[in-house]
Amino acid sequence: MTIEYSTLHDPVDWAALKAALAADAFDNGRSPAQMERSFRNSYRAVYAVDHENADGPWVGTGRVLSDGVCNAYIVDMWTQARYRRRGVGREILRRLCEPLTGQHVYLFTDDNEAFYKACGFNVRGAGLEQVMGSWLEQTA
| Chain centre distance of CA 109 | 12
Distance (Å, whole) CA 54 – CA 103? 38
Write down the pLDDT at residue 97.
97
Q: How far apart are CA 105 and CA 126, in angstroms?
A: 15
> How confident is the model at residue 140, as a pLDDT?
56
pLDDT by residue, tens only, the chain of 140 residues? 799 999 999 999 999 999 999 999 999 999 999 999 999 999 999 999 998 877 778 999 999 999 999 999 999 999 999 999 999 999 999 999 999 999 999 999 888 899 999 999 999 887 777 877 777 776 65
Question: ∠ CA 106-108-111 to the nearest 5 degrees?
Answer: 140
Residues 46 and 58: beta-carbon distance below 8 Å: no
* β-bridge mates for residue 8, sequence order: none
| 92 residue type, one letter | I
> Could you tell me which of 76, 90, 85 has the C-alpha nearest to residue 121?
90
Q: Is the pTM of this model over 0.75?
A: yes
pLDDT at 42: 98
For the chain, what is the largest distance between any 2 Cα atoms, rounded to a whole number of angstroms? 43
Neighbours of 128 (CB within 10 A): 6
Provide the residue type at 77 as one letter: M
